[in-house]
Structure 1
């Protein structure tokens, strides 16, 4: 699996959710749609994409879109699947940071637990 994956970097506290992209096309993980705040379109793009259903970037972005729509249990399932994965992946954020896929997923779970998916801000650097 390529390390040039897309994932949503979930910033703790009152900070924004930073939606990120890779240098290549991102339609498989719904980047453009998430960056635009169109969560339903993001879910459609993710589900229609060619990446395996177990891809961590796909799961994280799917979880973000679901959480933004208020489906916290669905989002929790996506994030939990990444946390439980025995493989670890480094995902590049739009700011150029490389973050462990499990760290991103745990942040997503934490945001759900604290009810902080409300009032998010989506930022895209690409």
Structure 2
């Protein structure tokens, strides 16, 4: 099973947000399919997303999709440092697979994590300039 990534652009913030869906779309073998709290994130419930993903324990600590969504949830709560830790963990994870973007393109999970990290850093730099 695999994971789908929804890439939505926040026009006002001029930044991309990645949310990883738990819809199986492609085969991958290193990590079993798990709940990555896509519904909670898209519903604007980052605390619920964190609780759901953390309930997966050890699997969530290696799975890039879970790590990216933990980063997204913390970013939405304004916890930039924590979000960056999760994005960095997804980049460094020994588990790696392709994620499908909303536009149908496939992207390596490490590239998706880098995109989320870079977007967060860009938003932070823009906020400092204002």
TM-score tier, shorter chain, comes to 0.7 to 0.9
- 2:113 and 2:106 map into 1 onto residues whose CA distance is 14
CA distance in 2, matches of 1:11, 1:39: 18
Cα distance in 1, alignment partners of residues 111 and 119 from structure 2: 12
Q: What is the 5 A alignment of 1:1-126?
A: 2=1, 4-7=2-5, 9=7, 11=9, 14=14, 16-17=16-17, 19-24=19-24, 28-49=35-56, 52=59, 53-115=61-123
Mark the runs of 5 or more structure 2 residues left unpaired by the alignment: 25-32
Q: State the TM-score, normalizing by the size of structure 1.
A: 0.72
Structure 1 residues 71, 95: closer, same or farther in 2, change over 3 A?
A: same
RMSD of aligned alpha carbons: 2.9
The normalised TM-score by structure 2 is: 0.70
C-alpha distance in 1, partners of 2:95/2:34?
A: 23
Distance 1:36 1:48 in 2: 19
Unaligned runs of 5+ residues in structure 1 are 119-126
In 2: Cα distance, 1:72 partner to 1:8 partner:
21
Higher relative contact order (CA 8 A, sep 6+): 1
Aligned pairs, number: 114
More strand by percentage? 2
Moved over 4 A (4+): 10-13
